[in-house]
Amino acid sequence: MVEVGSLSFQVIHTPGHTRGGISLLVDNAVFTGDTLFAGSIGRTDLPGGSYRQIIASIKEKILPLPPGTLVYPGHGPASTVEEEKGTNPFVR
């Protein structure tokens, strides 16, 4: 847990884009950095990246969150867990 003012962020280890990749969960929002984007996933072709790990991180740690959870990636538009489950070609 990371506390910032009155907010408590749960740290979720989401390797794949990098070995030490994390996502931060607070209330009904998850900040996924370069792990999960609206309709896409982060790069895995750089040193320390792993396609197998990023897919596992997303499927096992992000997609099980409640459907209405807002997804805020490091780049691009926001989404929801429900939208990514239904439309993201990398994780359907």
Per-residue pLDDT of 30-84, as tens digits, reads 999 999 999 999 999 999 999 999 999 999 999 999 999 999 999 999 999 999 9
Task: Output the pTM of the full model.
Answer: 0.95
Rounded distance between C-alpha atoms, residue 45 and residue 17, angstroms: 8
Rounded distance between C-alpha atoms, residue 84 and residue 44, angstroms: 19
State how far Cα 7 lies from the chain centre: 19
Extents of the domains making up the chain: 2-87
Domain 2-87 listed as CATH 3.90.470.20: no
25: closest CA among 56, 63, 55? 63
* Distances, alpha carbon 80 to alpha carbons 2, 10, 21, in Å: 23, 18, 20
